[in-house]
Amino acid sequence: MRGKYIVLFCLAIILSSGIKVEAAVYVTGWDLVDIGKHLDYDGTSTYMNYVVAGASTWNGYKSGVIRQDSALTIKDVDIVDVNANNGWSGMTYQSTKKIELNKYYLSGASNAKRTNVATHELGHALGLAHSTSNSIMDSGISGHTTIQSMSQNDRDSYDYAYSNY
Ligand SMILES: [Zn+2]
C-alpha cells in the first residue's frame, strides 16, 4: 500500500506541473447540516440499519457529524421509503429535507447495494455532489460502502462542504 501511495503522489506532481487536472471537489452548494455542524436523522424507512452503516462510514472520516435523532435534537433529515418505478434507488431533497429510499429497487437488492445507496444519499445531505466512478458519490451504484473505499474525491469534497457548514 505504501508503494502505491508514493506512485500516486509522484503522478500528482507531474500533473500539477502544467497539465490541467479535474477538480477533486464535487459539492452541491447546499446541505441539510444544521448550524451546530450536525446532520441529525430520523424517519420511518425500513432500511434504517443501512443508514446507520452509512452514517458510521462518514463518521469514520469526521466523527460525530451524522447522528441518529434523539429527544434532545431537532431532526435535520427525514428518511422515508417510497415505492416507485422511476429509475432512482434513492433521492435526497433540499426543499423538504428528506431522503427517499426506493423499495422498488432496494427490496430485492443485496445488502451491499442497500448500504451503498444509503451511504450515497447521506453524502448528498452532507452537501456532496456526484463525483467519480471510484467514489461513494459515483452517480451509479458502486461497491463503495466503507471508509476503506472512500475516495480522495469523497474526502476532499466532504472537507470543502464541511468548511461551509
Ligand atoms: Zn446521487
124-165 pLDDT per residue, tens: 999 999 998 889 999 887 778 888 889 999 999 999 999 999
Domain assignment present for 15:
no
**Total number of domains in the chain:** 1
For the chain, give the mean pLDDT: 87
Query: What is the radius of gyration, based on Cα positions, of the chain?
Result: 16
Domain assignment present for 18:
no
CATH of residue 114: 3.40.390.10
Helix or strand run (H / E) with residue 46: none
pLDDT above 60 for 94 = yes
Ligand 1 centroid from CA 130, angstroms: 6
Domain assignment present for 17:
no
pLDDT in tens, 75-91: 999 999 999 999 999 99
- Residue 147 is part of which domain span? 25-163
Domain assignment present for 120:
yes
pLDDT above 70 for 6 = no
Ligand 1 centroid from CA 77, angstroms: 16
Whether the CB-CB separation of 39 and 76 falls below 8 Å is answered with yes
Place of cell 501511495: 5
Domain assignment present for 146:
yes
Q: From CA 32, how far away is CA 76, in angstroms rounded?
A: 6
Place of cell 430485492: 108
Domain assignment present for 112:
yes
Ligand 1 centroid from CA 27, angstroms: 11
Ligand 1 centroid from CA 87, angstroms: 12
